[in-house]
């Protein structure tokens, strides 16, 4: 069946002659599609094929136009059900011990309306040095179940215990006296000011340094991570027993070995469990729309969208949009509803449909058959695999609110 793209109202849209198409070298494994224009501005599209695969543009584009069933849930991997968490046999069980493993009921209350992103100088509430640690680093996301008997007054003790635990694991279980660890130095610190609601727990930042060989040398930071909760669901947070602290979002930067050791120590000490936090295409759509809406007050620089198409070999499409053109499309959609301070899921869907329609009109690439895997602007980037980068602290609250929601939806009870 022939796919017919819906109409759109953009003017001055045209395509450069396809004779300008240039193929990348064979070893690069890429085909560069011709440049098209949106509102007299460039939109660059890069279709990446598997290395060593040489195909013409027409053939590559034809492969992409698939039925929407190719991206149905039936072809997606089924994730195993998460186990419930409870106390070990060493101590009396918590109130959650008899709770069967299931996804939290928060999934039934996924918001369809969110507040529009607004610039806010977070350094008015948070130490600028601590804010600098969160920005311009790539973080790997995980969700965390509530921590049992975690206390902010014992952060220095936790630092010594975690350092001793890492050293003992490195020495394959040899007993290490707390305070005598010589390989690593660990620091726990509370980041006050990121919490937005009374129920939110304060953010905890962890840094691991390798101790230098000589005392005069500066310790080298080898790992960093933080646990946070920003605008968490109040009903869920109030339902937790007093001994539990909910910091559902865990962000890490460093070696997988140290990340695994930190998670293991937290699990043993606070009877919690971790799980990978992947970002759905719907979440990435929200980020693309919210970041685009920030353009009038903070130049987003660019809007890059990456799709993965269900073809053999896998086809990846990079779609770069001029920020002003993206904003004009977004503004035209928001003007129809008139609610400037709120963003609805219908507006987000129309915004993404407008971008997809423009690409389909010129290249007959049906992006709805694939899945959005990455969104990138100067304000930050987010990948489907659960990797984020915060480019500006002015909109960090908007990003962390959305990620906290995703983490709570994944947390088993």
Q: What pLDDT digit, counting tens, does each position of 111-151 carry?
A: 788 888 888 888 889 999 999 999 979 999 999 999 999 99
- Please indicate, yes or no, if residue 116 is contained in any of the structural domains: no
Q: Which two tokens stand for residue 243?
A: 């001994």
Residues 265 and 133 grouped into a single domain: yes
Residues 144 and 269 grouped into a single domain: yes
Q: Which two tokens stand for residue 259?
A: 């990340």
Residues 229 and 322 grouped into a single domain: no
Average pLDDT, the chain: 76
SS3 content of the chain, % helix, strand, coil (to 5): 35, 25, 40
- Only one residue has tokens 């069946």, namely 1
- Please indicate, yes or no, if residue 366 is contained in any of the structural domains: yes
What element of type H or E holds 185? strand 184-191
Residues 254 and 315 grouped into a single domain: no
Residues 161 and 261 grouped into a single domain: yes
Q: What pLDDT digit, counting tens, does each position of 345-374 carry?
A: 999 999 999 999 988 888 888 888 889 999
**CA nearest neighbour of 139 among 279, 334, 234, 264:** 279
Given a contact cutoff of 8 angstroms between Cβ atoms, the answer to whether 132 and 205 are in contact is: no
Q: Which domain holds residue 237?
A: 105-111+125-278+403-410
Predicted TM-score (pTM) of the model is: 0.73
- Please indicate, yes or no, if residue 47 is contained in any of the structural domains: yes
Residues 227 and 288 grouped into a single domain: no
- Please indicate, yes or no, if residue 69 is contained in any of the structural domains: no
Residues 270 and 318 grouped into a single domain: no
Residues 296 and 358 grouped into a single domain: yes
Residues 299 and 242 grouped into a single domain: no
Residues 265 and 322 grouped into a single domain: no
- Return the pLDDT at 105: 46
Residues 257 and 243 grouped into a single domain: yes
| Domain count for the chain | 2
Strand, coil or helix: what is 250?
Answer: strand
- Return the pLDDT at 134: 93
Contact residues for 234 (Cβ-Cβ < 8 A; gap 6+): 197, 199
- Please indicate, yes or no, if residue 330 is contained in any of the structural domains: yes
CB neighbour burial string for 170-183, b if at least 16 within 10 angstroms, e if fewer: beeeeebeeeebee
Residues 289 and 218 grouped into a single domain: no
- Please indicate, yes or no, if residue 219 is contained in any of the structural domains: yes
- Please indicate, yes or no, if residue 262 is contained in any of the structural domains: yes
Q: Angle CA(342)–CA(344)–CA(348) in degrees, nearest 5?
A: 120
- Please indicate, yes or no, if residue 26 is contained in any of the structural domains: yes
């Amino acid at each position: 069946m022939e796919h017919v793209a819906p109409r759109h109202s953009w003017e001055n849209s045209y395509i450069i002659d396809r004779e300008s198409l240039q193929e990348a070298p064979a070893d690069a494994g890429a085909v560069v599609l011709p440049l098209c224009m949106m509102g007299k501005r460039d939109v660059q599209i890069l279709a990446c094929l598997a290395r060593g695969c040489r195909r013409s543009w027409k053939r590559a584009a034809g492969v992409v136009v698939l039925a929407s069933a190719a991206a149905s849930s039936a072809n997606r991997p089924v994730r195993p059900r998460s186990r419930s968490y409870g106390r070990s046999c060493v101590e009396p069980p918590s109130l959650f011990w008899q709770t069967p493993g299931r996804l939290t009921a928060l999934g039934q209350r996924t918001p369809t309306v969110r507040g529009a992103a607004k610039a806010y100088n977070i350094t008015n509430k948070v130490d600028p040095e601590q804010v600098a640690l969160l920005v311009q680093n790539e973080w790997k996301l995980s969700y965390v179940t509530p921590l049992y008997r975690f206390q902010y007054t014992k952060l220095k003790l936790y630092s010594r215990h975690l350092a001793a635990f890492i050293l003992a694991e490195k020495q394959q279980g040899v007993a290490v006296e707390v305070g005598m660890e010589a390989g690593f130095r660990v620091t726990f610190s509370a980041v006050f000011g990121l919490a937005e609601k009374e129920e939110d727990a304060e953010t905890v930042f962890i840094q691991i340094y390798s101790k230098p060989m000589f005392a005069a040398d500066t310790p080298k930071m080898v790992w960093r991570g933080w646990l946070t909760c920003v605008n968490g669901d109040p009903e869920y947070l109030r339902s937790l027993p007093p001994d539990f602290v909910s910091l559902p979002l865990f962000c890490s930067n460093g070696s997988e070995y140290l990340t695994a050791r930190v998670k293991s120590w937290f699990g043993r000490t606070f009877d919690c469990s971790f799980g990978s936090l992947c970002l759905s295409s719907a979440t990435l759509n929200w980020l693309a729309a919210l970041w685009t809406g920030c353009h009038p007050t903070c130049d987003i620089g660019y809007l890059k969208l990456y799709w993965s198409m269900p073809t053999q070999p896998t086809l990846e499409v990079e779609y770069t949009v001029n920020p002003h053109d993206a904003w004009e499309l977004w503004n035209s959609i928001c003007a129809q509803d008139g609610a400037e301070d709120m963003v609805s899921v219908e507006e987000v869907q129309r915004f993404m449909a407008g971008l997809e329609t423009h690409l389909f009109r010129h290249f007959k690439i049906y992006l709805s058959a694939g899945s959005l895997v990455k969104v990138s602007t100067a304000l930050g980037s987010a990948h489907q695999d659960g990797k984020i980068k915060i480019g500006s602290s002015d909109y960090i609250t908007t990003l962390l609110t959305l990620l906290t929601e995703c983490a709570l939806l994944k947390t088993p009870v």
